[in-house]
Amino acid sequence: MATKKKTVKPAAPKHIGLVKSDAYLEPFEQAIQGRHDHVLWKLAQLTDNGKRTLSDFASGYDYFGLHKTPRGWVFREWAPNATDIYLVGDFNDWKESDKYRAKRLKGTDNWELKLPAKAMKHGDLFKMHVYWEGGNGERIPAWAQRVVQDDTTKIFSAQVWDVEPYQWSKKKFKPCTSPLLIYECHIGMSQDAEKVGTYTEFKENVLPRVIADGYNCIQIMAIQEHPYYGSFGYHVSSFFAASSRFGTPEELKSLIDTAHQNGIAVIMDIVHSHAVKNEIEGLGNLAGDPNQYFYPGGRREHPAWDSLCFDYGKDQVLHFLLSNCKYWLNEFHFDGFRFDGVTSMLYYSHGLGEAFCGYQDYFNGHQDDNAICYLTLANLLIHEVNPKAVTIAEEVSGMPGLAAKFKDGGYGFDYRMAMNIPDYWIKTIKELRDEDWKPSSIFWEVKNRRSDEKTISYCESHDQALVGDKTIVFRLIDADMYWHFKKGDENFMVHRGIALHKMIRLVTASTINGGYLNFMGNEFGHPEWIDFPREGNGWSYKYARRQWNLVDNKELDYHYLGDFDREMLNVIKSEKNFNKTPVQEIWHNDGDQILAYMRGDLIFVFNFSPNRSYTDYGFIVPAGAYKVVLNTDNPDFGGNGLTDDTITHFTNFDQLYAQDHKEWLKLYIPARSAVVLRKV
């Protein structure tokens, strides 16, 4: 008797994690796998097939540059095109001599100079004098860890820095990421005075405000040395030097140490997307080869930024940039990085003129696989050096997988900036009447993100505060901020602006799936745009500062916004595992302009209508009692005080919903207000 054969079902195809999470990526799985394999290939190459770690590879800052040893000083530089290198400085009256002449190490492109301890001393200024076929010039060493500018001549020089190692009070620190609440800041413009602020002044004057306001992370801009102050720190010249215009390395370390002692993480806005074109201060032509660090031909210069683009295909450039990441983590104890200009790195076009309408635009061969490989390696390295480190990608195109795990085919960032949200708020405020704001559109936009990637949500960052643009509060109120922002003297525009400023922040911050970011001063509606000293404004510092006196003045309305921001963060932090708590829509009605949703025991209710208040507006919610924990209409926050927030709200039984343990919650919701309730 013949035996019946069992029917064997073919096994389902195995997909890389990124495709498992998003089936629409399946047509591009080969490209995703190819990028993943490219990183694995490069990783094996850089680690000698695992015989050493990526961290071992990224230790160039310990070898190159100027270092004090038990036997004296040693200086090294990678300069393949050089024919001769001298050190000139205060120690030899800026004149070349054989004593300070480096030698090319045999069989390499590296140069080395060894000197006795007395050959130079702490504080001496110096440069390299580099020769190449057909030319020569003074240069600042690429790996210099201390660079200063002369107050009179404005010339930059490297500086011998020989001090006792900083003694850390807090040697280990774990950032709080549940959720991550980021205060984006700039050291130089952090003071009320019309001048360049310092690391110490920030530590003493601004950090206490950040702590009191409830943020758990500061993101510092413009740390890497840059020749032009007005570049906001984005035209970097010396990648390993903390900007001396704000103080000494030890003062920066003290700031970070103090932040850690107070539970505040410190992440750095790192610029690896491009470099300043300057040759004397920067890497533009270090030794007669303009492409030593940068792409050749038409890819060398960034068409929009007037800067140079790194050649991520060179191992020496990978060594330089990866070592830079490790340096800031180990030497300064930064807790991670926000990578600037990631879109520019990903695409040959730098993202300029691209629409990014569909997935095919991310896998059409117009992407720089070398840059993709570098970014992935950087994330692997950073998390190898510090598993608790935080990495954030500033990326506008929506490249899938950016903040997905490497094992799943992603790039390994912890977060990506939700750059759609500030653009949405600008467009809404500029183009729509208040009567046309749609809660369904608002709710969709603040939650518009990939399910497998965490984001940093924000209403506005430094980008929206720069000269030529406007902050949200200025878009809402404009010049009336100057004339009607005193208590008792508010007009309609001021009342409207204060109300919407709070509501916009609340709906953005309360729907996060990773973190929330605010730029320094925007929490209290700082009235001025940012305009750094330049020829066009007479080199004035008037607009390159933060006017803390405004929020401190209780006769003005600014403190209402600042007080609300602080209480908003307290409410978010009060819900355990806020990030892991799903955002569940309860109700929206675009005609009424009402939106309601819940997270855990918190219920958020918004009435965006400018002129319609509602009595006994009902929602179906889990049965029980609810207390108000935050109300934008509270007089303490500049509201009208039209509700009694001391009342406990009890739900009303309805047989229709009883089996689900849900009942009606009925509220009075004033126009242009929002309320947060907690289930008792």
- 3-state SS assignment for residue 599: strand
CA-nearest of 366, 336, 356, 216 to 269 is 336
**CA angle (209 as vertex; 203, 212 as ends), nearest 5:** 125
Helix, strand or coil, per DSSP, at residue 457 = strand
Rg of the Cα trace of the chain?
A: 28
| Contact assessment for residue 585 and residue 666, using Cβ atoms and an 8 Å cutoff | no
Q: Would you call 563 a catalytic residue per the annotation?
A: no
Which candidate in 77, 394, 528, 563 is catalytic? 394
* Cα distance between residue 605 and residue 677, in whole Å: 8
User: Which residue, among 577, 385, 560, 397, has the nearest Cα to 490 in the 3D structure?
Assistant: 560
Let me know if 56 is a catalytic residue.
no
Q: Is 192 exposed, middle or buried (0-12, 13-18, 19+ CB in 10 A)?
A: middle
The DSSP symbol for 202 reads I
Going by C-alpha positions, the residue among 573, 577, 556 that lies closest to residue 565 is: 573
CA angle 241, 243, 245 (to 5 degrees): 145
Can you read off the two tokens belonging to residue 438?
A: 């749609």
Distance of alpha carbon 157 from alpha carbon 120, whole angstroms = 15
Asked if residue 635 lies in contact with residue 641, where contact means CB atoms within 8 angstroms, the answer is: yes
Query: Which secondary structure element, helix H or strand E, spans residue 611, and what is its range?
Result: none
Tell me the C-alpha to C-alpha distance, in Å, between residue 351 and each of 355, 371, 398, 399, 592.
Answer: 8, 13, 11, 11, 39
Kindly list the distances between the CA atom of residue 621 and the CA atoms of 39, 124, 565, 602, 605, in Å, as whole numbers in the listed order. 49, 70, 27, 11, 12
**Quick one: which H or E segment has residue 495?**
helix 492-509
User: Which H helix or E strand runs over 201?
Assistant: helix 199-201
Integer angstrom CA distances of residue 389 from 210, 337, 379 = 20, 8, 10
Q: Coil, helix or strand for 179?
A: coil
Integer CA distances (angstroms), 505 to 426, 442, 628, in order: 13, 12, 18
Q: Which of 184, 340, 395, 663 is catalytic?
A: 340
How far is Cα 644 from Cα 646, in angstroms, rounded to an integer? 6
Expressed in angstroms, the distance from the first to the final Cα of the chain is 72
d(CA 4, CA 458): 64
**Burial letters for 553-575: b for 16+ Cβ neighbours within 10 Å, e otherwise?**
eeebbbbbbbbbbbbbbebbeeb
* Rounded Cα distance, 63 and 77, in Å: 9
Which residue in this structure is represented by tokens 């758990």? Answer: 216
Give the active site residues.
Answer: 340, 394
